[in-house]
């Protein structure tokens, strides 16, 4: 059975008090609409129609893709009117309507809903609410069958007491949708064309309304203001934390962990508090991550230790390697097996071979560093001449004395040594000692400056 998905994303989001369209506000580092799109794609639809209005060009610019068709709703006249704008592009057996500001909806829930649709049935997603204020109420007859949905502003006192709420998520036979939308009326308290009125029309036309139920209320919550957006963020992170712990990860405090992308994890991983994972992160068995670390688009091989307050971006750490505390590994940083990067060391586009060490206070950029090489404190590779980057190459077992400056391009052969405080501007042969510093002078009888008394 073919499927078209319509995502309503035209709202302004006035209560966000923002120049950014509501559906572009992020949850877990991704626009709310981006979450909905990913879930829709997981259903393998024939097409995805995104109905946009306020901030349409911003939405297009940020989320345009070959598998999306954007449909403009010039006037926002209600959910029924919004779906009607997509009608010329719908040709599938089933049409599923989703919302761009409901980012936590699960694929499994939607798959369950879609099983309910046939030429004689529509599928409606409902949720049981402790407080249904603001939700349309599901009206059932004495046999428990759905007859209609009544919006909050149009509901009687008895209807407002109903706790089963409409999520707005609906799956219908595509062949019937145009007829129902064409019969919608705006004779209601809001003066809008409600998509929910389709339910009563379907019943009147002899179709059954079958309901699926959201696993929990958080799955179908939307965000209309910053407070609700923050709540969605916490719900998302709680879900992510539970899923990781179920896969064998120890989170020392699940309430202080943030996933803003995708993570692949092995067994016996330990993550301390206030760790943020962004982009795509791979964490293999036995990895330990200390508190207050940010790790983005990186790979941590078996047994890696990332110590407190380190920031990794586009880095790869080999088996048994460690970094930190207060290390910064920028894109292109690679640590070989059992390599060590200590506190206040920064790497960019630099590779440390197996067992190489940079213990503290160093900058290594555009460098190839051999196995077991030791980098002294205060060492920098001078890789940028103001216009171009240049590489520093060190062989195996090199020893760099503290406070050395290696002016690239430069090569140090295996076993070479530099004296502390040296400025190295030429290649150093294997096994040689390079000393590149001015000869010390002692000036006898030198008088220190004296502070002048104030007027």
Q: Which residue numbers are catalytic?
A: 360
| Residue 10 CB partners (closer than 8 Å, separation 6+) | 51, 52, 53, 54, 56, 73, 76, 82
3-state per-residue secondary structure call for 163-199: CEEEEEEEEEEHHHHHHHHHCCCCCCCCCCCCCCHHH
The answer to whether the beta carbons of residues 345 and 370 sit under 8 Å apart is no
For 429, other C-beta atoms within 10 Å of its C-beta total 12
β partners of residue 124: 170, 211
DSSP assignment of 64-90 equals --TTEEEEE-SS---HHHHHHHHGGG-
DSSP assignment of 384-431 equals B-SS-B--EEE-TT-EEPTT-EEESSEEE-TT-EE-TT-EE-S-B-TT
Q: Which of 75, 80, 27 is nearest to 54 (CA)?
A: 75
* Residue 198 token pair: 């389709």
- What is the rounded CA–CA span in Å between residue 420 and residue 88? 74
| Residue 437 CB partners (closer than 8 Å, separation 6+) | 419, 421, 422, 423
For 344, other C-beta atoms within 10 Å of its C-beta total 16
The answer to whether the beta carbons of residues 36 and 103 sit under 8 Å apart is yes
- What is the rounded CA–CA span in Å between residue 405 and residue 38? 48
- What is the rounded CA–CA span in Å between residue 448 and residue 2? 87
- What is the rounded CA–CA span in Å between residue 116 and residue 113? 6
């Amino acid at each position: 059975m073919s499927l078209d998905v319509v995502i309503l994303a035209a709202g302004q989001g006035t209560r966000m008090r923002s120049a950014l369209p509501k559906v572009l506000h992020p949850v877990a580092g991704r626009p709310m609409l981006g979450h909905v799109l990913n879930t829709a794609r997981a259903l393998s639809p024939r097409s995805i129609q995104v109905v946009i209005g306020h901030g349409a060009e911003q939405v297009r610019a940020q989320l345009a893709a070959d598998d999306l068709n954007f449909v403009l709703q010039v006037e926002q006249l209600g959910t029924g009117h919004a779906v009607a704008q997509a009608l010329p592009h719908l040709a599938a057996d089933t049409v599923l309507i989703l919302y761009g500001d409901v980012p936590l909806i699960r694929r499994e829930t939607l798959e369950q809903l879609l099983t309910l649709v046939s030429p004689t049935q529509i599928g409606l997603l409902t949720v049981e609410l402790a407080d249904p204020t603001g939700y349309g109420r599901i009206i059932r007859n004495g046999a428990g069958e759905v007859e209609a949905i009544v919006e909050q502003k149009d509901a009687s006192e008895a209807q407002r007491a109903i706790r089963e709420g409409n999520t707005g998520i609906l799956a219908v036979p595509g062949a019937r949708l145009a007829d129902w939308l064409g019969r919608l009326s705006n004779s209601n308290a809001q003066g809008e064309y409600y998509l929910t009125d389709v339910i009563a029309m379907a019943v009147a036309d002899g179709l059954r309304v079958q309901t699926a139920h959201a696993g929990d209320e958080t799955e179908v919550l939307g965000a209309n203001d910053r407070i609700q957006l923050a709540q969605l963020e916490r719900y998302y992170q709680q879900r992510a934390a539970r899923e990781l712990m179920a896969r064998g990860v120890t989170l020392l405090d699940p309430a202080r962990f943030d996933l803003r992308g995708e993570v692949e994890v092995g067994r016996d991983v330990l993550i301390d508090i206030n760790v943020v994972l962004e982009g795509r992160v791979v964490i293999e068995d036995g990895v330990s991550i200390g508190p207050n670390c940010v790790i983005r688009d990186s790979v941590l091989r078996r047994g890696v230790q990332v110590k407190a307050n380190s920031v990794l971006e586009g880095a790869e750490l080999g088996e048994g390697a460690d970094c930190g505390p207060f290390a910064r590994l920028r894109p292109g940083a690679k640590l070989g097996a059992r390599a060590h990067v200590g506190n206040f060391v920064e790497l960019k586009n630099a590779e440390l071979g197996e067992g190489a060490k940079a213990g503290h206070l160093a900058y290594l950029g555009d460098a190839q560093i051999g196995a077991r090489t030791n980098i002294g404190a205060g060492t920098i590779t001078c890789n940028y001449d103001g216009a171009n980057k240049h590489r520093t190459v060190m062989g195996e077992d090199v020893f760099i004395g503290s406070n050395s400056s290696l002016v690239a391009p430069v090569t140090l052969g295996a076993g070479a040594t530099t004296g502390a405080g040296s400025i190295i501007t030429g290649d150093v042969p294997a096994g040689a000692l390079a000393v590149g510093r001015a000869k010390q002078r002692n000036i006898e009888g030198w008088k220190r400056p004296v502070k002048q008394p104030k007027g």
